[in-house]
């Protein structure tokens, strides 16, 4: 599971503990957030929780080589439009033909399954 914009790392620890059979890769664009994620990860000592990495969705190609699903809990609704578009473009370029994106914004949960690669022109 690739978690984009992991923030403090609390979600990463929670989900990695609840889903021990899934490798959890936390990421963030902010150095302070990465330090916080690492502090939570070190305290939790979970075998399936990877070390956080710097990740900017607009950097192509993405710096991860393998994932089957993506979770973006606090990213899309607070980021600039360009970041959301870059997320979808990166997913289209990186996903397996059938993969899932889970996104949560405030109190609503959205889950989408991609069956076909999205063309960036479809985002405008």
Chain segment 23-50, per-residue pLDDT in tens: 999 999 999 999 999 999 999 999 999 9
pLDDT of the residue at 106: 52
Angle between helices 10-18 and 31-44 (to 10 degrees): 30
- Tell me the domain boundaries of the chain: 2-123
pLDDT of the residue at 96: 60
pLDDT class for 62, splitting at 50, 70, 90? confident
Answer whether residue 17 shows pLDDT above 90: yes
**Which residues does 27 contact at the CB level (< 8 Å), separation at least 6?**
2, 3, 4, 5, 6, 52, 53, 54, 55, 64
pLDDT of the residue at 119: 43
Provide CATH code, domain 2-123: 3.40.50.150
pLDDT of the residue at 103: 67
User: 79-99: buried (b, 16+ CB within 10 Å) or exposed (e) per residue?
Assistant: beeebbbbbbbbbbebbeeeb
Mind listing the pLDDT tens digit for each residue in 80-117? 888 888 888 888 887 666 566 676 655 444 444 443 34
pLDDT of the residue at 39: 97
């Amino acid at each position: 599971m690739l978690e984009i914009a992991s923030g403090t790392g609390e979600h990463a620890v929670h989900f990695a503990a609840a889903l021990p059979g899934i490798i959890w890769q936390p990421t963030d664009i902010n150095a302070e957030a990465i330090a916080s994620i690492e502090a939570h990860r070190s305290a939790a000592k979970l075998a399936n929780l990877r070390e956080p990495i710097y990740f900017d969705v607009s950097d192509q190609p993405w710096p991860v080589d393998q994932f089957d699903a993506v979770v973006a809990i606090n990213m899309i609704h607070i980021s600039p439009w360009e970041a959301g578009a870059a997320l979808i473009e990166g997913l289209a370029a990186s996903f397996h033909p059938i993969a899932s994106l889970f996104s949560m914004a405030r109190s609503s949960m959205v889950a989408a399954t991609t069956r076909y690669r999205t063309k960036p022109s479809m985002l405008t």
